[in-house]
Amino acid sequence: MDTRDSNGAILDDGDTVMVIKDLKVKGMSKTLKRGSQIKNVRLTGNPDQVECRIGKATVVLKASFMKKV
């Protein structure tokens, strides 16, 4: 299955994405703001989720809250 962003574009390993909505991440004290760019995402076994590094933490986010840059 293909992993698709909020606009329907297919995501690949190493892509850069932008967050389209403010997200509160469990286990982190700060919030991901809308417009934040995340570089070098990795795909997981689940087509709805993407793994990425934010600071020193590795986080799994839903692909529906991202758009490909």
Predicted TM-score of the model (pTM):
0.88
Q: What pLDDT score was predicted for residue 17?
A: 98
The low-confidence residues of the chain, meaning pLDDT below 70, are: none
Could you tell me the residue ranges of all domains in the chain?
17-68
Report the 10 Å Cβ neighbour count for 37. Answer: 10
**3-class state of residue 65 by DSSP:** helix
- For tokens 């990425």, the residue is 52
Res 28: pLDDT: 87
| Separation CA 26–CA 15 (nearest Å) | 23
CATH code for the domain defined by 17-68: 2.30.30.40
